[in-house]
């Protein structure tokens, strides 16, 4: 059975959980410890042993130890191709990978800029005020991404022709923006309905519900 080391509030691990469920693959999940105060410290020994970056997700399948959500998703596609989560055509496949990268590395930057909202307030008021100000700039940047995504979704149900890893990755990043008191989607109707459509998929709904529950336990500020 596939083993997955995940985290209750780990956006990257949850991408993998959604992909596994969408592919109908059973997995044995171990949640590593996490608190808002200490993050992932102390690190789980298996995660430390397998991932030189000491991060989740870490997956073990049939003796293969693999980390990095993108590498894991690509492995799952190669090893378990049905149902596909990447487009067949090379051009669309490249677009899918670029959208995933946009979610994980570009949009994540402004999302990280509002993460202070689930952490305890900084004891020094000036530093807390700096965080709030940086959070406002991050929101403005996020709105530019909302606008791009809203345009891309004009007249289509998914970011590409079919449901793909691009939808999973962008959904997860936006879900994190939402739990961090995001700017809402009022002015972005295509994005709004796409977000609801993604959230209605059983694999996605389960993860979103678990994150909401974990937040109630771990993030009193949300």
Question: Taking contact as CB under 6 A, which single stretch among the options 64-72, 91-99, 116-124, 185-193 is the one that binds ligand GSH?
Answer: 64-72
Minimum distance from residue 58 beta carbon to ligand GSH (Å): 9
Supply φ then ψ for residue 151, to 5 degrees.
Answer: -65, -45
- Residue 190 binds ligand GSH (CB under 6 A): no
Minimum distance from residue 68 beta carbon to ligand GSH (Å): 5
- Residue 102 binds ligand GSH (CB under 6 A): no
- Residue 10 binds ligand GSH (CB under 6 A): yes
- Residue 110 binds ligand GSH (CB under 6 A): no
Which residues touch 115 (CB under 8 Å, ≥6 apart)?
Answer: 180
Indicate the residue whose CB is closest to ligand GSH: 55
- Residue 7 binds ligand GSH (CB under 6 A): yes
Choose which of 18, 19, 57, 185 interacts with ligand GSH (CB under 6 A).
57
Minimum distance from residue 10 beta carbon to ligand GSH (Å): 4
Could you count the other beta carbons within 10 Å of the beta carbon of residue 169?
29
CA distance 66 to 72: 6
C-alpha dihedral sign at 57, 61, 66, 68: negative
Nearest residue to 108 via CA among 76, 145, 78, 77: 145
Question: Taking contact as CB under 6 A, which single stretch among the options 4-12, 149-157, 177-185, 194-202 is the one that binds ligand GSH?
Answer: 4-12
- Residue 113 binds ligand GSH (CB under 6 A): no
Which residues touch 32 (CB under 8 Å, ≥6 apart)?
Answer: 5, 6, 7, 40, 43, 44, 47, 56
Nearest residue to 201 via CA among 24, 22, 80: 22
Q: Which residues bind ligand GSH (CB under 6 A)?
A: 7, 10-12, 40, 54-57, 68-70, 104
């Amino acid at each position: 059975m596939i083993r997955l080391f995940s985290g209750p509030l780990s956006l990257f691990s949850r991408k993998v959980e959604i992909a596994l469920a969408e592919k109908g693959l059973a997995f044995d999940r171990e949640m590593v410890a996490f608190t808002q105060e200490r993050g992932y410290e102390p690190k789980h020994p298996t995660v430390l042993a397998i991932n030189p970056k000491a991060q989740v997700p870490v997956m073990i399948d049939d003796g293969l130890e693999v980390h990095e959500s993108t590498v894991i998703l690509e492995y799952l596609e190669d090893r378990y191709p049905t149902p596909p989560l990447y487009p067949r055509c090379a051009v669309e496949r490249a677009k899918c990978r670029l959208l995933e990268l946009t979610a994980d590395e570009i949009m994540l930057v402004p999302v990280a800029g509002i993460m202070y909202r689930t952490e305890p307030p900084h004891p020094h008021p000036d530093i807390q005020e700096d965080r709030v100000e940086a959070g406002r700039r991050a929101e403005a940047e996020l709105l530019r991404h909302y606008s791009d995504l809203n345009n891309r979704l004009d007249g289509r149900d998914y970011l590409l022709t079919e449901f793909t890893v691009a939808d999973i990755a962008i959904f997860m990043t936006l879900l994190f923006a939402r739990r961090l008191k995001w700017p809402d989607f009022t002015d972005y109707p295509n994005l709004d309905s796409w977000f609801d459509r993604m959230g209605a998929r059983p694999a996605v709904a389960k993860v979103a519900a678990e994150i909401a529950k974990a937040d109630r336990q771990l993030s009193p500020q949300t």
